[in-house]
Amino acid sequence: MTILTGDCRHLMPEYGPFDLILADPPYGDTSLAWDRRVDGWIVLARQALRPTGSLWVFGSLRCFMATADRFADAGLRIAQEIVWAKQNGSSFHADRFKRVHELAVQFYPTETPWRDIYNDVQTTPDATARTARRQQRPPHTGQIDAGHYLSHDGGPRLMRSVIYVRNCHGRAIHPTEKPSALLEILIRTSCPQGGLVGDWFAGSGAAGEACRLSGRRYLGCEIDADMAELARARIAALLPFHGGGVA
């Protein structure tokens, strides 16, 4: 449960294999001095991943389109994406929509079938009672699951891919800090309890907090020594996980 200080490309590969890698790199979408895309980390992360593990990457559509071939060349396939919706956001342009969302995209190794990737589907307790009967499927979809299912009021329902979580505005210790509650959802979905999460661009250590609260082991890496120190202090201030709570 710690954060290394330095370049993730040099430090992180030797600590694998990771059950889950989280990466929130600079998007490289602006001309700001700190917002420069980091070359070469994707292939190293892929090599440091357990064959049944996956990689969740934060970014903008602009940044994913510009770097799409790097994921494919590294032997990574897209599984799915979520949209993080927040209450306010950054506005660099007065002539465009105010941007109040970020994307996180999950990738997994090309040679591993999706069914073998660790995946604990998350639910929310807000189903409404109904019996859904599926019509015969069109031939191209194949047989995916049972022909009908029952749900009851307040029962579990598959979590939606647009996830609203307030951002850390006013209490953040990092300018692009992600809410630990959002990271915890990704961690619970994609890393077994006790598994190892590698956070390659750790920033504030928000993912470390989420790991501590959900009982996963955590190794972060942050190139800015002052930020790494703040992140270590943040994680150290939390109570250790005692195995209870909602899994």
Ligand X SMILES: C[S@@+](CC[C@H](N)C(=O)[O-])C[C@H]1O[C@@H](n2cnc3c(N)ncnc32)[C@H](O)[C@@H]1O
Residue ranges binding ligand X (CB under 6 A): 7-9, 24-26, 38, 174, 176-178, 201, 203-204, 206, 221-224, 227
Residues in Cβ contact with 42 at an 8 Å cutoff, skipping those fewer than 6 apart:
67, 70, 71, 74, 76
How many other CB atoms are there within 10 angstroms of residue 228's CB atom?
A: 22
| Whole-number Å distance between alpha carbons of 72 and 43 | 10
Closest distance between ligand X and the C-beta of residue 116, in Å? 28
The residue among 42 and 223 lying less far from ligand X, judged by its C-beta, is 223
Closest distance between ligand X and the C-beta of residue 71, in Å? 17
Three-class secondary structure of residue 133 per DSSP? strand
Tokens of 5: 């200080």
**Angle between helix 206-214 and 225-236 (nearest 10):** 20
Place of tokens 């604990």: 120
The residue among 10 and 137 lying less far from ligand X, judged by its C-beta, is 10
Residues in Cβ contact with 174 at an 8 Å cutoff, skipping those fewer than 6 apart:
203, 204, 206, 227, 230
Alpha helices (H) in the chain, listed in sequence order:
8-11, 41-47, 61-73, 180-190, 206-214, 225-236
Closest distance between ligand X and the C-beta of residue 177, in Å? 4
The residue among 76 and 206 lying less far from ligand X, judged by its C-beta, is 206
Closest distance between ligand X and the C-beta of residue 166, in Å? 14
Name the residue with the smallest CB distance to ligand X.
203
The residue among 176 and 214 lying less far from ligand X, judged by its C-beta, is 176
Place of tokens 């006013």: 170
The residue among 28 and 75 lying less far from ligand X, judged by its C-beta, is 28
Instruction: Give CA 30 to chain center in angstroms.
Output: 22
Tokens of 32: 């700001």
The residue among 153 and 229 lying less far from ligand X, judged by its C-beta, is 229
Closest distance between ligand X and the C-beta of residue 6, in Å? 7
In contact, 70 and 23? CB cutoff 8 Å:
no
The residue among 20 and 227 lying less far from ligand X, judged by its C-beta, is 227
Closest distance between ligand X and the C-beta of residue 74, in Å? 16
Closest distance between ligand X and the C-beta of residue 203, in Å? 3
